[in-house]
Amino acid sequence: MKRINLLPQEERAKASRERGLIWAILILVAVVVVLGLVYVKLNNDVGAKNDELAGIQARTADVQAKIAELSPYAALQAQRTAMTETSRAIYQSSIPFSILLQELSLVIPENVRLQSLQATVPQAMLPGGAAEDAAAGAAPATADITFTGQTEEHRDVAEFMTRLGLIPQLMDIILTNSTDQAAGATTEGTAPAETYVQFTVTTRLRPYTSQPPTTQLQEVTP
């Protein structure tokens, strides 16, 4: 059977508008509910992030307090490290006279007798000393080590100088004096007195490739 709407045209239009208004209200309510749920979720997320930030700030404050508490020890450690590095550099740039004498005992000829050995450390090899400027045409430095001794022949002196050149710490080996000397006075009718060679040899210590450090350290105030 066909349904017939007996309402007047005006009433039908009014009912249609009311239904549309109801649907619009329902949609608006749904949007408000969704927005409310989104707001609640975002608010909860913001609260969680704020709590996490507060925890991080608290841990940061604890770490900063520990850093401030340990800062004097850090300064002491820095000073200790600087002293260790300085002492290592000084040891590496020290004059190894004990090693030099050991090497000398290995290279000295058997028939050479040393009477004296004088050694001085040049100013350029002292901590904080100025390096020698060889390129500027400076005058050669004085001898650092002087050997005085006796032997039988001048050839032995040359051999001694050659062997000194085998010691890596030495350079500029120079013969200062080499003369014949009589072993004793002679009298008429006696055999000629035996002679020996008196010599003096000077040499210089080989300079460092880098200057030795100074031993003065600035005191660190905690």
Considering only CA atoms, which of 190, 203, 115 is closest in space to residue 151? Answer: 115
198 burial level (CB within 10 Å; 0-12, 13-18, 19+): middle
Does the pTM of the predicted model rise above 0.85? no
Looking at residue 7, its amino acid is L
Cα of 127 vs its chain's centroid, Å: 17
Residue 154 token pair: 């001048």
Interior angle at CA 176, CA 178 and CA 144, nearest 5: 135
Domain ranges of the chain: 7-92, 97-186+193-205
Q: What is the DSSP string of 7-43?
A: S-HHHHHHHHHHHHHHHHHHHHHHHHHHHHHHHHHHH
Residue type, 11: E
Domain 97-186+193-205 has CATH 3.30.70: yes
Q: One digit per residue, pLDDT tens: the chain, 222 residues?
A: 556 655 566 666 676 777 788 888 889 888 989 998 898 888 888 888 888 898 899 999 888 888 888 888 888 888 888 888 777 766 666 667 888 888 998 999 988 999 999 988 877 776 655 555 444 444 455 788 999 999 989 999 999 999 999 988 888 999 999 998 877 655 555 555 678 899 999 999 887 665 555 555 455 454
